């Protein structure tokens, strides 16, 4: 039972991201302290030289500049060693083409975790899925080192990168404008205003005395333009 807990325990949303030092393809890092002041996405993959992971790394690397514009760093991890990482990334650049993306140079750090210490610390090993390979975990960590979103995928399922970027922008928009985002929200869509805290506020909302559209006292939205959202999030 203790071994099972060791594998499956994981930090929660709102927790401080567990600290670790690691060797990576871009040198040593201290996480999350090296990334304080910016957002980061820490993600795991099952193994080097595997096809689904290869498609994901090509996609992530091709989108790295887009994530950087949103003040977000990418950090990958698997339980393979450093030399395996280097050989795999070289193979990706020299041999692999995916959806028109080729000659892709993976510049973000890929963590060596042959002891599985970091994978265990973040609950990336799910023994009923595989006891020696990390699942496709994704941790969004904010500028204060707090975990804000966690997404897990099984080994067989490649990630949706449009959704990962959408989550990042939505989290930053929520912080910048003190709002929430509804289902399938994209920048430019109406945003959600929190429920009224008093009967008086609810009455004002329903009578149209506030700058929002209320369908009922608990469901109120307002418009924030795509340009305003992105100018705040992308600092343009």
In this structure, the strands spanning 39-44 and 27-31 are unpaired
CB burial readout 114-144, b (16+ within 10 A) else e: eebebbbbbbbbbeeeeeebbbbbbbbbbbe
C-alpha span between 155 and 11 (Å, rounded):
20
Which residue positions form the known binding site for substrate?
A: 136
C-alpha span between 166 and 229 (Å, rounded):
12
Place of tokens 């430019």: 188
The answer to whether 139 and 18 have CB atoms below 8 angstroms apart is: no
C-alpha span between 64 and 190 (Å, rounded):
28
Based on its alpha-carbon atoms, the radius of gyration of the chain, rounded to whole angstroms, reads 20
Q: Checking phi first, is residue 45 left (phi over 0); if not, alpha (psi -120 to 50) or beta?
A: beta
Which residue positions form the known binding site?
A: 136
Question: Of 5, 3, 46, 41, which Cα lies nearest the Cα of 154?
Answer: 46
Q: Which of 53, 72, 214, 220 is catalytic?
A: 53
72 is catalytic: no
**Residues annotated as catalytic (active site), given as ranges:** 53
């Amino acid at each position: 039972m203790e071994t099972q807990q060791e594998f499956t325990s994981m930090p929660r949303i709102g927790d401080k991201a567990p600290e670790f030092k690691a060797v990576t393809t871009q040198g040593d890092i201290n996480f999350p302290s090296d990334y304080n002041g910016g957002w980061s996405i820490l993600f795991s993959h099952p193994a080097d030289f595997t096809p689904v992971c290869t498609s994901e790394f090509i996609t992530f690397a091709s989108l790295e500049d887009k994530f950087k514009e949103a003040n977000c760093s990418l950090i990958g991890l698997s339980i393979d060693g450093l030399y395996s990482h280097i050989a795999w990334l070289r193979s990706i650049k020299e041999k692999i083409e995916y959806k028109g993306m080729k000659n892709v140079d993976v510049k973000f750090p890929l963590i060596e975790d042959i002891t599985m210490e970091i994978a265990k610390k973040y609950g990336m090993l799910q023994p009923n899925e595989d006891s020696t390979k990390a699942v496709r975990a994704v941790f969004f960590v904010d500028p204060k080192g707090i975990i804000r979103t966690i997404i897990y995928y099984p080994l067989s399922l490649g990630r949706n990168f449009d959704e990962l970027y959408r989550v990042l922008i939505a989290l930053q928009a929520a912080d910048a404008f003190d709002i929430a985002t509804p289902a399938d929200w994209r920048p430019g869509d109406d945003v959600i205003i929190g429920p009224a805290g008093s009967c008086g506020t609810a009455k004002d909302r329903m009578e149209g005395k506030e700058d929002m559209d209320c369908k009922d006292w608990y469901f109120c939205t307002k418009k924030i333009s795509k340009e305003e959202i992105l100018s705040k999030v992308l600092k343009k």
